[in-house]
Amino acid sequence: MNRKRLKVAALQLPSQAIYADNLDRLLSLVRQHQDKAVIVAPEVYLTAYDYAHLESAAAFSRKALDLLQREVGDQIVVLTLILKEDDGFINRAVVIHKHTIVYQQEKAMLFKLGEEDRYLRAGDTQQIMPFEIDGVKYALLICFELRFKELWKQIEDVDIVLVPARWGLPRKVHLEILSRALAVMNQCYVIVANSSDADMASASAIISPDGKVIQEDEQTVVKGTVDFHTIKKIRRYIVMK
């Protein structure tokens, strides 16, 4: 890996009722932050969990995904979308790079308190695995999946964990504790992009393996840098294996 540092951004945005407005905002921010190698959007940002209109949400998401693929070049853009498959609706994370979906993963651990299991089909936890882009090792956990320690084990040794989330305000402290603990335990960077809807926690953050946190709840874009030297240094001095 020849890169030593990556500029990254976690978007912290509310989802508007009009899907197209959300897409316009996302495209605008991607264009404004061309210097960021990685941009993560909140979970189902384009449509939220619009259970009353899932058909419309899935159709819009499919069209939006085609547009995003045409738009996203050298950057890595990460988001989740409500999509329809033959056997029902899913929440799928996609990683777009160089006009291609280079990785995708369906949400496996559905949040029953939010009735996700009533409307969506769960993915397979075995799909949650490390993947590599340009020599950097990534993994992806979608919101509620952050709570499951067995999934932390599945993604050991990655450099960056991406966490698109729609995490509720009453459990804000849980999001902060879990994301920081994951960074320290797995000795990696964690990028959390959470919704800033009124009932959501915000708490988007960029967390380093030594526990340092960049968190700015009032900002729409939380910016930071992944320093691969920090990862190597922590793993060298605090040997976990």
**Residue 62 DSSP code:** H
Long-range contacts of 132-137 (CB under 8 A, 24+ apart): 133/76, 133/95, 133/97, 133/102, 133/103, 134/1, 134/3, 135/1, 135/2, 135/3, 136/1, 136/3, 136/6, 136/160
CATH superfamily of 5-237: Carbon-nitrogen hydrolase (3.60.110.10)
- Six-digit token string for 135: 């020599």
Beta-bridged to residue 131, according to DSSP, are 138
Quote the pLDDT of residue 3.
66
Residue 121 · residue 152 · CB < 8 Å: no
Q: What pTM did the predictor assign?
A: 0.96
Q: Which residues of the chain register pLDDT less than 50?
A: 1-2
Quote the pLDDT of residue 157.
96
Quote the pLDDT of residue 241.
75
Domain coordinates in residue numbering, the chain: 5-237
